[in-house]
Amino acid sequence: MSSPHIRLSKQGRPTFMSSELQNGYMDLHSMSDSEKVVHELLLQPPAKEVDDHLIEFSEAMRTVAKALRRVAEGKACAQAEAAEWKRKYELERARNLQREHTGPLSLDCDSEVDRTKCTNDQSVPKHFPSERPEKCCGKNGICSHEVLRNGEMESNSNNVSNRFRRKASFRLSWGCNGSGQHKHDIVSFERGNITTAERSSKQISLKWESPPQTLLILAKPNSVPVRLLCAEMVRWLTDQKKIEIFVEPRVRTELLTESSYFSFVQSWEDDKEISLLHTKVDLIVTLGGDGTVLWAASMFKGPVPPVVPFSLGSLGFMTSFQCEQYRECLDSILRGPISITLRHRLQCHVVRDAAKDELETEEPILVLNEVTIDRGISSYLTNLECYCDSSFVTSVQGDGLIISTTSGSTAYSLAAGGSMVHPQVPGILFTPICPHSLSFRPLILPEYVTLRVQVPYNSRGHAWASFDGKDRKKLAAGDALVISMAPWPVPTACQVDSTNDFLRSIHEGLHWNLRKNQSLDGPRDS
């Protein structure tokens, strides 16, 4: 007697067919055996082949979706790079055409009339002397006048207020202690604002071409010494230096409560005026700790004027000036030249899983210290997939991940085991938080890369992203955070230079390598 054959129907149910049935007959004995087989199979769990195929197909579709996201991200980066090269090409072409018709451009702005032409013209200047004087920028320097003017900026400023004055012009040079060979590919000027394509590892010096006229003071809240110092500083800058002062609405209310003398102090009313501050303010003074500097940086979504940070807080890694000597410090800074540190910021985009492509993102967020992705209140380990320029880096399993600037290397990243890095070193810090692996060590990546941190679909819980310790956002399965270096740094004034200030901050703030010296009365080599 031949054994029965078993096959699955279209509905996934077992059917049986013996060789006798195929030949057109079946005896009672074979029928009894078939019933036993049916009974045994019914006791077995149902077949899972169909479910397994669906799972495999679903995973394949997720892989395709990830590949499409990476392609779209690469396309967006390429479009942005092409637009930047197109802008540079059109700028150079306009300059070449101007030289052909009117001769070399002159960037001398000694007279008030020339300065007005340089700052208010909405296109390439049409009438310049035939020779370019050396005293404006020198042979290799870069002057803030050597830019195309944007007519939209002028029209927008007229709608806000006529009380603003034009910005002061300046130029940057760098080398050892502010001297040395100048380079054109580090710092570029767009409408008098600082942007960088890459960073210089040398000291950077700022020299005013025209004196600063407008100053913004940002003060730490809920502090009586800060409020008293702010009032005293406003009086001195107005009476002795003839500087126009801007403060936050809260600070202006406090000053007016103290005395009606401060009625000349200006402020703003809405976000539109805040977005135009960088076009009018020449200098920013912060009174507080590093948190006040972070607050100042968060106010400016684009270019940031030079910042003079005074130490009035508990930590001072970025606040190098002492409030007791504020008159001498500000007097020296207003005269110039001064050493500055260009502190880069990270630009973060949240891409939701429901987005059609990588270009459909939420409003970008700029951070000066770090962006942190953690597990929040969940008891499960954070599960994150990390990519660097579309190349897979690693899967993070632990409490979370810190993506930090070099300026933020002495903040949360240092507490999580990251290295202290000089703020002028170009790089992005990749630091895990309590990783579930002994071999997971921190990384320092080049600043030109784009990082993508995604919550996988099989993650047990959600992740939370915080930006400089605030603005927490929930990241569900499939959501991603795209991080790159922002083109607008935060220039902070140095008391001596960036290296001296950095070393002093880690010695005084962290007591770095502080220990007793070894005794000299012990045994010595003969």
Positions annotated as catalytic residues are 290
Convert 225-235 to b/e letters by CB count within 10 Å (16 or more is b).
Answer: ebbebbbebbe
CA 356 to chain CA centroid, Å, is 24
Contact yes or no for 169/119 (Cβ under 8 A): yes
Contacts of 22-29 with CB under 8 Å at 24 or more apart are 29/1
Rounded to whole angstroms, how far apart are CA atoms 101 and 96?
A: 9
* Pairing between β-strand 443-445 and β-strand 428-435 as defined by DSSP bridges: antiparallel
Residue 111: is it exposed, middle or buried by C-beta count within 10 angstroms (0-12/13-18/19+)? exposed
Residue 14 in tokens: 């077992």
Contact yes or no for 481/466 (Cβ under 8 A): no
Residue 477 has a CB neighbour count (10 Å cut-off) of 16
Residue 49: is it exposed, middle or buried by C-beta count within 10 angstroms (0-12/13-18/19+)? exposed
Among positive and negative, which fits the CA dihedral 86, 272, 227, 314?
A: negative
Contact yes or no for 317/290 (Cβ under 8 A): yes
> Within 13 Å and on the Cβ side, how many CA atoms surround 237?
27
Residue 120 in tokens: 């208010």
Residue 301 in tokens: 């979504």
Contact yes or no for 442/429 (Cβ under 8 A): yes
